[in-house]
Structure 1
Amino acid sequence: MVLDTVIYHPTLTKFISLLNKTAGREKILRLLQYLVRFLAVQYRSGLNRQLQSEFTSVRKILRFFKPLNHIQDAAKLYDNKIAPDQWVRWLSIIKNVGYVGYLTLDQINLLRILKLIPATPITAKKVPRYTNWFWFVALIAGLITDVRKLYTSQRKIEASLSSKGNAPTEKASSEKLTAYYNERFAAFRRLIWDSIDTFIVLNNLQFLRNDESSVALAGVATSVFGLQDVWKTA
């Protein structure tokens, strides 16, 4: 039956799996948040701004315990003394610590939005700014990591190409080369992603003063990157 074909289609099954994951729901809400933010600028609709606020609040609730993930990741990286690239190891530690600070302070923003704590000069102005500073630190560490991974993957590709004729088997050499190309692509993709997010946070900190629609479109772009990653594992 046509209905069965639709209901049991692999894409629909994967989409349901995506919705069953907290990360999947959070990424979808982020996409909707920035999309509505863009529409609010274009159509100057109060309803769009209200929806944006609602999506933002729900996202913060879904991320309430997410700092624990980054604390654990940072601890694992710190304990891994024999990591092959110590630069990447320490930069990843800094990145995770930055996200711990960012997500922890963001919960104070949530409590203020829910009116569980009062809006004071500290909670309404300083905490949001420090939140963005922690995000900025995490992104800078991420950008340096991305460049480092691009460099190392390129070196591996060059070494593999130069020694291809001396490889034990052509198949093994080809597989390694493909893996290095995939590493380089992943690093370049992540570099673009982190660069766009840095554009957003620099506007949040008012070092850049681009129009609201440009920031919203940047958020849409990085939300799509995030959804793609969650979709792969759904």
Structure 2
Amino acid sequence: MATIASQVVLHPVVSQSLKVGGTTLGRDKLYRAIQYFARFFAWFLLNRDYKIQAARWNALKSHLALGRKLMRLGKPMEHLQAALRAVQTPADAGEQLTTIGRQVGYFGYLTYDAIVWANAIKFFNLKPSTAEKANRIANRFWLIGILFSITHGFIKAGRLANEAKQLTGSQVWEKGPQVDRDAQLNALNAQRNGVRQQFVIDILDVWIPATNIGLVNFNDGVLGIFGFITSVLALRQQWLAVNGKK
């Protein structure tokens, strides 16, 4: 029995999971996945008139959402620094502008999100109309950040495709340059895969703030599934980054 327990507790997957969970981003994405699954499942139960069970999952969703706001305190400054670094770093004009726009959008979103959190825990009390306004502004900034991210993805994908086409079309007869070209192609393909995955995340996530501010009217079931999928994709990215797998 002790041997079996040891094999389970010390299993490499358990160790890798603990490494991911030891990072703030890893925990956030895990909690987000559970939060959005709870959002979907509460909607599913409510539509089948299981009101007591739905209330339990709604409570889990709400508390995870509030806890994640606490974990994000301080992140606005990270996005502001990223925006300033993008200003100072030479790059393609389109990619540079969209990067700045994305980071400023997320800075605004997380700044107002912190205000929403402080009001929710009664650290200070806002009028209901003021709290609702702060929440709407946060979601507008979130939407702006995602839209800039989508635009950035389009521009970067086009540039990477052109670079890959040029490398593929070039003829190399010597072994050394051939190896270098293959390495460059592999690096470009890795970047293109990253851009594609981020595009999928953005194109699903964009409907959440869009619904929150009334631009579209998706139900909690759809938004819960979208949020769960993007959370799992982001958690997978963090898993690969932390555990050094490519």
Q: Same fold (TM over 0.5)?
A: yes
Partner Cα separation in structure 2 for residue 164 and residue 54 of structure 1: 58
Say which of 150, 156, 164 aligns to 2:163.
Answer: 156
The two structures have a TM-score, normalised by structure 1, of 0.93
Residues 98 and 138, structure 1, Cα contact 8 Å, conserved in 2: yes
Does 2:26 align with 1:24? yes
Following TM superposition, by how much is the alpha carbon of 1:8 offset from its aligned partner in structure 2, in angstroms?
2.8
Residues 74 and 96, structure 1, Cα contact 8 Å, conserved in 2: yes
How large is the RMSD of aligned CA atoms in angstroms? 1.6
Does 2:196 align with 1:194? no
Partner Cα separation in structure 2 for residue 70 and residue 166 of structure 1: 45
Following TM superposition, by how much is the alpha carbon of 1:170 offset from its aligned partner in structure 2, in angstroms?
2.2
Percent identity of equivalent pairs? 25
Does 2:43 align with 1:70? no
Say which of 199, 209, 215 aligns to 2:217.
Answer: 209
Does 2:178 align with 1:170? yes
Residues 164 and 173, structure 1, Cα contact 8 Å, conserved in 2: no
Paired position in structure 1 for 2:193 = 185
Partner Cα separation in structure 1 for residue 128 and residue 200 of structure 2: 35
One-letter identity of the residue aligned with 2:85: K
Following TM superposition, by how much is the alpha carbon of 1:5 offset from its aligned partner in structure 2, in angstroms?
3.0
Does 2:83 align with 1:48? no
Does 2:99 align with 1:86? no
Partner Cα separation in structure 1 for residue 190 and residue 238 of structure 2: 18
Query: Which structure 2 segments of 5+ residues have no match?
Result: 47-53
Taking a change above 3 Å as real, the CA distance of residues 7 and 121 of structure 1, as seen in their structure-2 partners, is: closer
Does 2:113 align with 1:111? no
Residue 146 of structure 1: SS of its match in structure 2? helix
Paired position in structure 1 for 2:10 = 8
Paired position in structure 2 for 1:128 = 135
Partner Cα separation in structure 2 for residue 154 and residue 160 of structure 1: 10
The two structures have a TM-score, normalised by structure 2, of 0.89
Query: Which structure 1 segments of 5+ residues have no match?
Result: none
Partner Cα separation in structure 2 for residue 136 and residue 166 of structure 1: 49
